[in-house]
Amino acid sequence: MIPIAPLTRGFMLTAIVGFFISIFLVYPKSPTLGFTFILIFMLMFIASVVSMTYADADDIIRMEKRKR
């Protein structure tokens, strides 16, 4: 199996916020740039969901403990 890197909650939050900013602020002014940002933030969100589903739980717990 391919090793899955554990990603932080901030990564997912950045993907969600960036997605909505891209839809409501960037896309109306520049459709090409807005679409590009939407695509990037969607890929970030998918990566965070894959990380939540398949990453080793012990690695995620260790990573969160280091921050405190």
Count CB atoms within 10 A of the CB of residue 39: 12
**Whole-number pLDDT of residue 48:** 93
pLDDT in tens, 31-66: 999 999 999 999 999 999 998 888 777 776 776 666
Distance CA 60, CA 51 (A): 9
Please return the burial class of 32, using the count of CB atoms within 10 Å of its CB with bins 0-12, 13-18 and 19+: exposed
Q: What is the pLDDT of residue 1?
A: 66
Q: Write out pLDDT tens, residues 9-26.
A: 899 999 999 999 999 999
Tell me, what's the pLDDT at 56? 74
The token pair that represents 40 in the structure block: 């990037």
